[in-house]
Amino acid sequence: MREIKINLSESDIPRQWYNLAADLPSPLHPPLSPDGKPISPDMLAPVFPMNLIEQEASRERWIDIPEEILGILYRWRPTPLRRATHLEEHLKTPAKIYYKDESVSPPGSHKPNTAVAQAWYNKQAGVKRLTTETGAGQWGSALSFACNLLGLECKIYMVRTSYEQKPLRKIMMQVWGGRCVSSPSDETNVGREIRKRMPDTPGSLGIAISEAVEDAVSDKTGRTRYALGSVLNHVMLHQTIIGLEAKKQLEIAGERAPDVVIGCAGGGSNFAGLAFPFTCDKIHGAKIEILPVEPTACPTMTRGEFSYDYGDIACMTPLIAMFTLGHSFIPPAIHAGGLRYHGMAPLVSAAIAQGLMAPRAYDQIKCYEAAMLWARTEGAICAPETSHAIACTIEEAVKAREEGKEKVILFNFSGHGIMDLSGYEKFLSGKLSGYALPEEDLKKSIAAIKNFPKPGPVKGA
Amino acid sequence: MREIKINLSESDIPRQWYNLAADLPSPLHPPLSPDGKPISPDMLAPVFPMNLIEQEASRERWIDIPEEILGILYRWRPTPLRRATHLEEHLKTPAKIYYKDESVSPPGSHKPNTAVAQAWYNKQAGVKRLTTETGAGQWGSALSFACNLLGLECKIYMVRTSYEQKPLRKIMMQVWGGRCVSSPSDETNVGREIRKRMPDTPGSLGIAISEAVEDAVSDKTGRTRYALGSVLNHVMLHQTIIGLEAKKQLEIAGERAPDVVIGCAGGGSNFAGLAFPFTCDKIHGAKIEILPVEPTACPTMTRGEFSYDYGDIACMTPLIAMFTLGHSFIPPAIHAGGLRYHGMAPLVSAAIAQGLMAPRAYDQIKCYEAAMLWARTEGAICAPETSHAIACTIEEAVKAREEGKEKVILFNFSGHGIMDLSGYEKFLSGKLSGYALPEEDLKKSIAAIKNFPKPGPVKGA
């Protein structure tokens, strides 16, 4: 069995990010303030630095990556493109399974691609301290890592259930100088309020975002801003380096364009990073199936509404047009903490609404089965989030076998799972509880947004 | 700051292992049976398969690596040679610091280099099941990983203090199909006996080895053998692929031979793997400082005796000529579990005795300081064992600055520490206890071997 691994040299790294907003057949819907009017850049200034606000609104197709950011990305990029020959053999599939290995960064995932960029832009704007939320801990560690390298302070609100399941993650953040607290915390008004109302809540990304935003905007010295690890346009943008590298690597491998592109999607960033450059090809006529994968426990894309909604539980963010389960929805405490978000990136949501992508949902038992098969064939241990992409990949590879088609499948190995082994232990000992999706809460939280604006045709489109 | 990383292509992988036993100025002392006579291969047959027993005794300089073993090593080899430019800059040293990054294997360390080879040779010999010990858990995970790929069963006795400090490690072994128990266990006679006599013992590698050997030799069906992760000649042999790759990579980097070669040493295998090919050059006239580094809590090389001694607490192994603290010595429960061994590889011991290497010892506070500096400059989080090599590297780089010499320093980054973060947490919170080296026990255990044979001149040398 030949090992197939395609490295790029430093000089082959993409020097521009790709902005899908430039190519979407129907333009993106703008964020709105609660009164229904488009927000102005000034309104976001207490939260983000102006250079990132401009990037968020940009409709330029290609945006230069500053040399200083590339200088830091070189620490682990370009990442390898590998082929899962052992899994292919096990499945007896004619499909070729390629994956982009984003687990090789020091924090262990794709997250530092945008963490480094955001920390750099904030530093350029004079910011000294960043606040953020984290689900599984991948994003919090990545931002700590980036802030350490760029000399910024970092404060992380970590969703309670992950904080308790993954004690090593918070130590990792501390090693890089970040300060991590369990969310809901007693360090913000919204955190204290929620602890009072729901003392046993497992927490959620929606709550942690509210806390981190409150922390940033309540620092009146102006030295603090907030950084988000997913969802926003500029985050998707920074991640496109993944797909742009993968394109060059498939070319080097002598492969045609992929037939299927797969990624797990919580807020959407690792998926978008791989998929957007291929989505551009699809818009221009290529025949590619593009599959974002989510957990059935938090079925934003497969059961949510395409609607304007808040990004956080306390309604501190603008209204954004996205697939959403309602901002008050708190998903069950599944192990894939990074996929427990009620919303989905506006760019991914728009691409789904415009028929460019076809979301899937899997339950966590199926995903752990996929993760175990991966570990025992390919060797590596994947993050619980990544297991969703692998479950879909296996399904597609089996389908290719049944159809007798030599498909090229490409997926994003977004992160390793060696700090998430407690979920594997529960799975192996048969103790992995099926989650109880709170259907009543889901209905209520979706109903609560029924009067919110629905994204219609955009003026001037 | 330019990132310097030298990859080798698959076709550049070394195709032979290097055997230092062929070049040592004075020949290696043979293992003895308790009656003082050299042991015969037959006596080892219940423990190891004959192909590895032959390799253990080989004095051939170059030994071919079977193609099938290379086929598995390709999954993560060749490993990168990297330069620590950010640490250099921080230290303002004129030295160039290169390191071989063995943390990139799926189990996270150099250990699978020999795990794969041993599992393969055992399988060739018809063995179906392997037993072993593990300290920090790196070796146990590596053998589970290898056994899974080759279809063997695997049973691991993990030193109690590590078993408790590192719960994720045992899950990792389970994911790859290995069965891991805390040692001393109640599954062997020696384990039960020690639990009775020392109920609160933190355990030791010496105890765990006794258990694993008893397990293997008491299986009368002949389907079980024992595998050791360090110390033995054939283990050192399998690891030399590290140093052989590094030599090619330094050449590609346009670098002269290193002035200083550094590795942490518990049983000696990662150190030997990097250092032996350079030790060969030193024997043939090159001027190289070769520095094995150990913890002051288990000062085998710096305070032990060069003597014949047993490799395990229950005296089940042959007598081997090595630096030793006495086989009954139980070191304090420092975080670098992989360095808690009373003995040292006979090949490393002989090279020290013959003046080819100069051991150093550091305490764990100094090592965690080094690990933190590494994490905050280079970004990666190192294993507590590896931090000993980094502490020595920093000392040498500072010395180069003081002497104004542009030295080339090469060390082995033997493993990552992201499953060992609990030690970092204790360090960061100021709770890392200084260890209490049991000086009285040390004296007693060394005194207990005073009548053991001392390695003298070897007949025919």
pLDDT confidence bin for A1, thresholds 50/70/90: low
- pLDDT at residue A26 in the model: 95
Fold match between B5-12+77-108+236-447 and B16-63+111-233? yes
- CB atoms under 10 Å from CB of B209, counted, come to 29
The alpha carbon of residue B36 is apart from the nearest alpha carbon of chain A, in Å, by: 44
- Residue A184: cis peptide before it, omega within 30 degrees of 0: yes
- Residue-wise DSSP of B2-26: --EEE---GGGS-SEEE-GGGT-SS
Closest CA to A298 of A263, A341, A336: A341
Q: What are phi and psi of A293, to 5 degrees?
A: -120, 130
Residue of B nearest to A417 (CA): B172
Chain B residue numbers touching A108 (CB-CB < 8 A): 418
With 80 as the cut, is the pLDDT of residue A6 above it? yes
Q: Quick one: DSSP state of residue B408? A: E
Output the six-digit token pair for B431: 């709770």
- In sequence order, the 6+-apart residues with CB closer than 8 A to the CB of A70 are A13, A15
Q: Are A263 and A292 in contact (CB under 8 A)?
A: yes
User: Which of A71, A175, A375 minimises the CB distance to B372?
Assistant: A175
Q: B346-353 and B269-283 helices cross at what angle (nearest 10)?
A: 40
**In degrees to the nearest 10, what's the CA dihedral of B346, B347, B353, B358?**
-120
Interface test with A, best of B9, B10, B75, B90 (most A CBs within 10 A): B75
Q: Is A391 exposed, middle or buried (0-12, 13-18, 19+ CB in 10 A)?
A: buried
SS3 A339: helix
User: Which of B172, B379, B428 minimises the CB distance to A381?
Assistant: B172
Interface check for A424 against chain B (CB to CB < 8 A): the answer is: yes
Domain boundaries, chain A: 5-12+77-108+236-447, 16-63+111-233
- pLDDT at residue A458 in the model: 56
User: Which of A75, A177, A418 minimises the CB distance to B172?
Assistant: A418
With 80 as the cut, is the pLDDT of residue A459 above it? no
The alpha carbon of residue A104 is apart from the nearest alpha carbon of chain B, in Å, by: 8
CA–CA dist B346, B329 (Å, integer): 18
Helix locations, B20-60, DSSP H? 41-44, 50-57
Contact B422 A171 (CB under 8 A): yes
Mean pLDDT score, A244-261: 96
CA–CA dist B181, B159 (Å, integer): 9
**In degrees to the nearest 10, what's the CA dihedral of A78, A83, A87, A92?**
160
Q: Quick one: DSSP state of residue B396? A: H
Interface check for B179 against chain A (CB to CB < 8 A): the answer is: no
CB pairs under 8 A between A and B: 83
- Across B19-128, the runs of DSSP E, i.e. the strands, are 62-64, 81-83, 96-101
With 60 as the cut, is the pLDDT of residue A460 above it? no
Closest CA to B173 of B207, B133, B204, B200: B133
User: Which of A3, A10, A174 minimises the CB distance to B10?
Assistant: A3
With 90 as the cut, is the pLDDT of residue A359 above it? yes
Interface check for A148 against chain B (CB to CB < 8 A): the answer is: yes
Output the six-digit token pair for B120: 């393969």
Residue of A nearest to B416 (CA): A106
Architecture per CATH, domain A5-12+77-108+236-447, reads as 3-Layer(aba) Sandwich (3.40)
Amino acid at A34: P
Interface check for A372 against chain B (CB to CB < 8 A): the answer is: yes
Interface check for A381 against chain B (CB to CB < 8 A): the answer is: yes
CA–CA dist A164, A152 (Å, integer): 26
Amino acid at A305: E
Chain B residue numbers touching A422 (CB-CB < 8 A): 168, 171
Chain B residue numbers touching A380 (CB-CB < 8 A): 106
Mean pLDDT score, A229-250: 98
Interface check for A149 against chain B (CB to CB < 8 A): the answer is: yes
Element housing B214 (H / E): helix B205-217
Q: Are B173 and A424 in contact (CB under 8 A)?
A: no
**In degrees to the nearest 10, what's the CA dihedral of B343, B348, B351, B357?**
-100
Tens-digit pLDDT profile for chain B (461 aa)?
A: 578 999 998 889 999 999 999 999 999 999 999 988 999 999 999 999 999 999 999 999 999 999 999 999 999 999 999 999 999 999 999 999 999 999 999 999 999 999 999 999 999 999 999 999 998 899 999 999 999 999 999 999 999 988 998 889 999 999 999 999 999 999 999 999 999 999 999 998 889 999 999 999 999 999 999 999 999 999 999 999 999 999 999 999 999 899 999 999 999 999 999 999 999 999 999 999 999 999 999 999 999 999 999 999 989 999 999 999 999 999 998 889 899 999 999 999 999 999 999 999 999 999 999 999 999 999 999 999 999 999 999 999 999 999 999 999 999 999 999 999 999 999 999 998 778 899 999 999 999 999 999 998 655 43
User: Which of B1, B71, B421 minimises the CB distance to A168?
Assistant: B421
Q: What mean pLDDT value characterizes chain A?
A: 95
User: Which of A10, A419, A424 minimises the CB distance to B418?
Assistant: A419
Interface check for A428 against chain B (CB to CB < 8 A): the answer is: yes
- Across B244-318, the runs of DSSP E, i.e. the strands, are 260-264, 289-295, 305-310
Output the six-digit token pair for B442: 């040390």
Contact A424 B10 (CB under 8 A): no
User: Which of B10, B168, B418 minimises the CB distance to A172?
Assistant: B418
User: Which of A74, A375, A428 minimises the CB distance to B3?
Assistant: A74
Q: Are B181 and B169 in contact (CB under 8 A)?
A: no
Mean pLDDT score, A111-136: 97
What pTM, to 2 d.p., does this model score?
0.96
Contact A175 B428 (CB under 8 A): yes
Closest CA to B312 of B320, B304, B302: B320
What's the CA angle centered on A328, arms A325 and A329, to 5 degrees?
A: 50
Residue of B nearest to A420 (CA): B168
With 80 as the cut, is the pLDDT of residue A14 above it? yes
The alpha carbon of residue B427 is apart from the nearest alpha carbon of chain A, in Å, by: 10
Fold annotation for A16-63+111-233:
Rossmann fold (3.40.50)
- pLDDT at residue A21 in the model: 98
Residue of B nearest to A425 (CA): B171
The alpha carbon of residue B375 is apart from the nearest alpha carbon of chain A, in Å, by: 7
- In sequence order, the 6+-apart residues with CB closer than 8 A to the CB of B448 are B326, B328
CA distances to A194, B18, B272 from B291, rounded to whole Å, are: 56, 19, 10
Contact B106 A380 (CB under 8 A): yes
Residue of B nearest to A378 (CA): B75
Chain A residue numbers touching B106 (CB-CB < 8 A): 379-381
- pLDDT at residue A205 in the model: 87
Q: Quick one: DSSP state of residue B190? A: H
Chain B residue numbers touching A168 (CB-CB < 8 A): 168, 418-419, 421-422
What distance lies between CA A108 and its chain's CA centroid?
Answer: 14
- Residue B184: cis peptide before it, omega within 30 degrees of 0: yes
Q: Are B386 and B392 in contact (CB under 8 A)?
A: no
pLDDT confidence bin for A461, thresholds 50/70/90: very low
Helix locations, B266-363, DSSP H? 269-283, 300-303, 346-353
- pLDDT at residue B3 in the model: 83
Interface test with A, best of B168, B179, B420, B427 (most A CBs within 10 A): B168
Interface check for A145 against chain B (CB to CB < 8 A): the answer is: yes
- pLDDT at residue B2 in the model: 73
What distance lies between CA A401 and its chain's CA centroid?
Answer: 30
Q: What is the pLDDT of residues A59-81, one digit of tens each?
A: 999 999 999 999 999 999 999 99
With 70 as the cut, is the pLDDT of residue A203 above it? yes
SS3 A18: strand
Interface check for B71 against chain A (CB to CB < 8 A): the answer is: yes
Closest CA to A13 of A73, A61, A60, A100: A73
